[in-house]
Amino acid sequence: MSDLTPIVIAHRGASGYLPEHSLAAKALAHGFGADYLEQDVVLTQDGVPLVLHDLWLEEVTDVARVFAGRARDDGHFYAVDFTLDEVRQLNLLERRAPGSAARLREGRFSADQVRMPVVTLDEELAFIRALNASTGREAGVYTEVKFPAFHRRHGLDASRIVLETLGRHGYRRSTDKAFVQCFDPQELARIRNELHCGLRLVQLIGENAWGDSDADYEAMRRPAGLDAIARVADGIGPWIPQVLNWKPDGTPETTDLVALAHARGLVVHAYTLRCDQLPPHAPDLAAVHAALFGLARVDGLFSDFPDRTLAALRPAGLPCGTG
Ligand code: CA
């Protein structure tokens, strides 16, 4: 696997340039030549899969203005509390800092007045299929089932709905240009063994300190944990610091995670490359790309700036999408 050209996954689309998960961000990433376009999926009250990263809507839409008073006691406007018809009234915005009207990342897309709807998974898959046809270049899909346990508590089977939608659009087998990703290891095993998903699966790995899940991410990164993942999945999606860090003098240093994964036949797709938020002590973007691909030997990278990652990987003059 390590002698193949690594893949570039457009993280929430070309989200460094346009509101994340807007169709515009997906179209731009497709035009850049990204190998895969990412979808995060959460469900509406009526069980419609939306392409949305958070459980709530307020950090990437104008929901707080359109549906003032519809937040729960914790202040969040949960997507699962809104019907698709209601979500259709919202406009995507560049991501805000939590609890604030300020953009999370200065310098990113600023035209809030431009209408961009929240997209359903069905619409996005149709959009990508049509773009693949009209350009003659096939970008793959890389779909994450978000918060399956939360959805189950609301009577919704997120995985089943996502897999059925992918299947309707022709994504069913390991040879199809698609990955399904999830942070929840029990759910990933269920996706494989109970829902009989034939697509390639990726176990996402977070940090126990994030406290966002019951999963033991530390155990996952040890040999026995990776053995267990390899029985279910085709790859892992670690956070960049789990594979590579920089010493204060700017020297890169790898962990053993990629080697342990490769020894078990697992590909490694690391997240997330952001040109405007480089890892601590990393000297510059070129050094980050060189270390991730040349030293850490990851097989793919989630990038907010897929054009920059593609440029680092593919020498000038080669058409996009080769290898
Ligand atoms: Ca994701």
Distance 19 CA to ligand 1 centre (A): 15
- Locate tokens 């773009």: which residue? 131
One of 21, 30, 53, 76 is an active-site residue; which one? Answer: 53
- Is residue 63 assigned to a domain? no
Residue 21 tokens read as 């998960």
Task: Indicate the helix (H) or strand (E) that contains 259.
Answer: helix 257-263
Asked if the model's pLDDT at residue 151 lies above 70, the reply is yes
296 CB neighbour count, 10 Å cutoff: 23
Q: How confident is the model at residue 251 (pLDDT cuts 50, 70, 90)?
A: very high
CA angle 315/321/323 to nearest 5° reads 75
Asked about 53 being catalytic, the answer comes back as yes
Distance 52 CA to ligand 1 centre (A): 9
Distance 317 CA to ligand 1 centre (A): 31
- Is residue 136 assigned to a domain? yes
Distance 31 CA to ligand 1 centre (A): 21
Distance CA 127, CA 113 (A): 23
Q: What φ, ψ does residue 156 adopt, rounded to 5°?
A: -120, 135
One of 11, 30, 269, 289 is an active-site residue; which one? Answer: 11
Model pLDDT for residues 80-121, shown as the tens digit of each residue: 999 999 999 999 999 999 999 999 999 999 999 999 999 999
- Is residue 196 assigned to a domain? yes
- Is residue 97 assigned to a domain? no
The total of structural domains in the chain comes to 1
Distance 143 CA to ligand 1 centre (A): 8
- Residue 228 lies in domain: 7-55+118-316
The domain that contains 206 carries what CATH number? 3.20.20.190
- Is residue 125 assigned to a domain? yes
- Is residue 323 assigned to a domain? no
pLDDT for residue 214: 86
Q: Give me the chain's average pLDDT, please.
A: 95
Q: Does residue 270 contact residue 6 with C-beta atoms inside 8 Å?
A: no
Asked about 289 being catalytic, the answer comes back as no
pLDDT for residue 322: 43
The model's pTM: 0.95
Distance CA 174, CA 288 (A): 31
- Is residue 322 assigned to a domain? no
- Is residue 130 assigned to a domain? yes
Model pLDDT for residues 43-89, shown as the tens digit of each residue: 999 999 999 999 999 999 999 999 999 999 999 999 999 999 999 99
Distance CA 205, CA 233 (A): 12
Q: How far is CA 286 from CA 15, 179, 282, 292, 307, in A?
A: 19, 27, 10, 10, 13
Distance 183 CA to ligand 1 centre (A): 9
Residue 263 tokens read as 């020894």
Q: How confident is the model at residue 316 (pLDDT cuts 50, 70, 90)?
A: low
